Amino acid sequence: MRLDMISKTLLVTGVCALTALGQNSSMSGPVPGFVFHSPTRSIRPIVGIPGSAYLGPMVAQDFDAASVSPLGKSALATRGSRLFFLQGLDSGEPLATPIEGAISAVDRFAWSQDGLSAAVYSADSRQAQILRSPNAAQPPGVESSLDLSSTAGAVSALLFDGKRLLVGAGGVYAADNSGLKLLLPAGNPGALALGAANRDLFVADRTSNQIWMIGDYAGDATPMLFSDGAGLTAPVGLRLAGNGRYLVVASFGARSVDALEISTRSTMKHIDLEFAPSRMDTVGSGTLALLNAGADGEPLYLIDSGENLAVYFVPARSEE
């Protein structure tokens, strides 16, 4: 079934768990998730129901970068060279605590799917670090840093499976305390995604426009070509959808989203976009993902990767 772009339509919450902000917040309504809004350097909630959703007021601000946990109530954020752990986003007054022993100048984040651990990376030092239990009542514990300076290129994609760090950097690598293992030589990995049961790894190459699948990436690591790139241009986002039946690909160059059926490797669904997507970052614990960063004057765009694949825009409400 082909799904067309749904324009002038606001956020649908799908099967996401909803929460309500505390009484100190200046808004009311369901909140399917929080996002980092680059133009205002703040974390803001998505508020509303279909037909009336908007980007709510800032609950945490003056951060250079941030990433919200899949569990939705905490985040990692940077200010200057320091890394902070934010608790209680849903309270409207989150607590920001510096993480002692964390690497400095973090500019990339990767959460485990359960939201109970995360990995961070600094391009300045080319070091990564794993953080454990960042959703507990105290700041996360930090592990020894991982040296990624021997990768074939600059880090262009990062994924954390809860045990090992998966890195796209002129190739695809698995990194842990034992070192780096090359899984796939690739020109420019633009996105990584875990397959069903976390056994396989999907890789999108922005240069060749190909999608690769690495079978048993934690074991024998057998690469195989999944898609030759037909219809894809500069893929920047990957996401498993439809209860694991298809892989959703966001293409920056083609300004589109495609759903590839995993069993047949054919394009089952296609959405033409009115903008160029730059990511596919999970929002909340459900089927929503963020497709862009929301530049000045541009709304955020979300994809619902549930049974009925669709894209929606969420305008920002002016701060009072």
196-220 pLDDT, tens digit each: 888 999 999 999 999 999 999 999 9
143-197 pLDDT, tens digit each: 999 999 999 999 999 999 999 999 999 999 999 999 999 999 988 999 999 998 8
pTM as predicted: 0.89
Half-sphere exposure for 317 (CA within 13 Å, toward CB): 15
CA gap 194, 175 in Å, rounded:
15
59-82 burial, b at 16+ Cβ within 10 Å, e below that, comes to bbbebbbbbbbbbbbbbbbbbeee
